Amino acid sequence: MPDDFSIDADWNALYVDGEWTDSAGDDAVAVEDPSTREAVTEVPAGVEADVDAAYEAAAAAQTEWADQPPARREEAVQEFLGALQAHSDEIVELLAREAGGSRIMGETSVQIAADHAAEAATLTRRMKGEHADSNIPGKENVVERGPKGVVTVISPWNFPLNLSMRAVAPAIAAGNAVVLKPATNTPITGGLLFGKLFEEVGLPDGVLNVVTGRGSDIGDRVAGHPESDVVAFTGSTSVGRQVAATAAENLAVPTMELGGNNPFVVTADADLDRALDAASFGSFVHQGQVCISINRHIVHEDVYDEYVDRLAERAASLPAGSVHDDQTVVGPIIDESQRDEMLGYVEETVEAGATLETGGETVPVDGVDDSLVVAPTVLSGVTNDMAAACNEHFGPIAPVIPFSDLDEAVEIANDTEYGLSSAVHAGDLGVAKDVADRLETGHVHINDQPINDEAHVPFSGTKASGMGSYNSDAFLDEITETKWVSIQREPREYPF
């Protein structure tokens, strides 16, 4: 495949065993630019034979890769990081064309992906075992740590670059081989791009394999392949349950980051300027298409009216439209089904008694008959059981729920099946920490918003938001296994 990282390159090939190959099938999947609604390229619609070939290559390459010195595996990831940064401008443009990402989203994605690659490179020197004393005289216990084998990565469409990176780079650094299945909407930035970058830096054949295609065609085979030892999945809870169950049939380790319904609690003494800065970013960045974005604003009744008015004013002022305009902050939703679902939640919520303060409609885009851009939306008078609040709306929608005391705020925040991220704003940090301790989420951010990801800090969810952990040593535990080796150095006495 030519050394071209633009959307105009030929992306119609799979990356298997170090080669760009045609699919065993004869179908293709069109990639649509969400801003223009135009098909901009196509990728192979992989079939089960392609999946089998990818796992065969991964299994064959993994042992030799695991035997490489830590410095060699570190070097491979460091060189990949260099290639990522060298092509960052092209990658930001790819994210705009394929994922509908604004420049803010694209640059943030590259920054976070680079952070994950840099952290992954250090894992090779942290794969340490341990020595343990024995209860048996003359025995020595050694615990060794090694790679699991083949890691399956199934990545989502919303932040395809960094959410693929956080699994692919650590898995390779730890000595595993990888089969990467990107989302159908974002097969390049979530998948084929990784093949090009790792090919550029000379990763050995078969260590990374990328198969594109429809989840309905190959998803079960990818999640349940007998050569897979770990399945790292990011996506909805409903799909994640199926993926985890399929993986478990082969006793593969499921590492799942799933849905969220993230609360943003604002107390009566909070600094409203800071809270609204955080609220605007946390609700509307990348059109709210973030698993850890704010889903519900839970605001004390004493400041509720002012908060709603000011949030609605900010929302209405955000430039919304095509991301090919550099001034755009709120771009298009990924596709029609996602757009229609979130607008349906808004309509149901208004019908249930909430007030539409601003938004709730699509924004026209020049030259586009059926725009995917949804205006930043603020809803007041919301209760926790209304559609935009009780569902993960995954859009630029801000339902604002009032509360009278902190016990009620915590009760509202925790009244969901999800437990991914959350945030609390309060003037008294002690109060904020008390609230944070009571929130049933994998991470809580005080006087900030819930969209945070740092590669050296564990990232996990509770309840229906997932199982297992990403980032740093937490993910290293998922993709490696320990082996107990005992050495009986002196003759041992047995009872018979």
Q: Which two tokens stand for residue 178?
A: 């990888």
476 lies in the same domain as 412: no
Strand partners, 171: none
Nearest to 90 by CA among 209, 197, 213: 197
Strand partners, 286: none
280 lies in the same domain as 407: yes
The answer to whether residues 104 and 285 touch, using CB atoms and an 8 Å cutoff, is yes
Within its chain, how far is the Cα of 270 from the centroid? 30
What whole-number distance in Å separates Cα of residue 291 and Cα of residue 234? 9
* 228 within some domain: yes
* 184 within some domain: yes
235 lies in the same domain as 310: no
Whether the per-residue pLDDT at 439 is higher than 60: the answer is yes
What whole-number distance in Å separates Cα of residue 89 and Cα of residue 182? 21
Within its chain, how far is the Cα of 420 from the centroid? 12
* 405 within some domain: yes
What whole-number distance in Å separates Cα of residue 441 and Cα of residue 262? 8
Model-level pTM? 0.96
Name every residue whose Cβ is closer than 8 Å to that of residue 74 and which is 6 or more positions away in sequence. 121, 122, 124, 125, 173
* 455 within some domain: no
Residue 484 — left, alpha, or beta (φ > 0 → left; ψ -120 to 50 → alpha)?
beta
Work out the percent of the chain whose per-residue pLDDT is above 90. Answer: 99
76 lies in the same domain as 41: yes
Mean pLDDT of the region 36-48: 98
The answer to whether residues 355 and 380 touch, using CB atoms and an 8 Å cutoff, is yes
Three-state SS for 43?
strand
289 lies in the same domain as 322: yes
Host domain of residue 319:
262-446
Mean pLDDT of the region 222-229: 98
Helices (H), 138-236: 160-173, 193-200, 215-223
Torsion of CA 294, 298, 304, 309, to 10 degrees: 20
Q: pLDDT, tens digit, for every residue of 349-372?
A: 999 999 999 999 999 999 999 999
279 lies in the same domain as 194: no
269 lies in the same domain as 232: no
* 384 within some domain: yes
* 451 within some domain: no
Nearest 5°: the CA angle 346, 360, 417 is 30
Select which of 98, 199, 227, 291 is catalytic: 291
Q: Which residue is associated with the tokens 């885009």?
A: 365
For 7, 26, 101, 184, 288, the CA distances from 157, given in Å and listed in that order, are 16, 24, 11, 8, 13
| Single-letter code of the amino acid located at 106 | G
**DSSP letters of 74-110?**
HHHHHHHHHHHHHTHHHHHHHHHHHH---HHHHHHHH
Domain count, the chain: 2
Strand partners, 27: none
Active site residue 291: yes
For 100, 155, 377, the CA distances from 217, given in Å and listed in that order, are 25, 16, 36
376 lies in the same domain as 228: no
Mean pLDDT of the region 465-483: 97
Select which of 257, 357, 392, 478 is catalytic: 257
What whole-number distance in Å separates Cα of residue 80 and Cα of residue 194? 9
What whole-number distance in Å separates Cα of residue 252 and Cα of residue 249? 8
Q: pLDDT, tens digit, for every residue of 180-212?
A: 999 999 999 999 999 999 999 999 999 999 999
Nearest to 173 by CA among 103, 240, 117, 246: 117
CATH number, domain containing residue 228: 3.40.605.10
Whether the per-residue pLDDT at 1 is higher than 60: the answer is no
Residue 316, pLDDT score:
98
pLDDT band at 3 (very low <50, low <70, confident <90, very high): low
Nearest to 90 by CA among 208, 15, 213, 196: 196
Q: Which two tokens stand for residue 150?
A: 């083949």
Residue 183, pLDDT score:
98
316 lies in the same domain as 381: yes
327 lies in the same domain as 403: yes
Work out the percent of the chain whose per-residue pLDDT is above 70. Answer: 99
Three-state SS for 116?
helix
SS3 content of the chain, % helix, strand, coil (to 5): 40, 25, 40
272 lies in the same domain as 405: yes
241 lies in the same domain as 362: no
Q: Which residue is associated with the tokens 């060699």?
A: 72
- Burial (CB count within 10 angstroms: exposed 0-12, middle 13-18, buried 19+), residue 326: exposed
What whole-number distance in Å separates Cα of residue 298 and Cα of residue 279? 11
* 430 within some domain: yes
Residue 108, pLDDT score:
97
Q: Which residues of 298-317 are buried (b: 16+ CB within 10 A; e: fewer)?
A: bbbeebbeebbebbbebbee
CATH number, domain containing residue 370: 3.40.309.10
Residue 4, pLDDT score:
87
Q: Which residue is associated with the tokens 């902050």?
A: 329
Q: Which two tokens stand for residue 142?
A: 């050694």
Q: pLDDT, tens digit, for every residue of 276-329?
A: 999 999 999 999 999 999 999 999 999 999 999 999 999 999 999 999 999 999
* 169 within some domain: yes
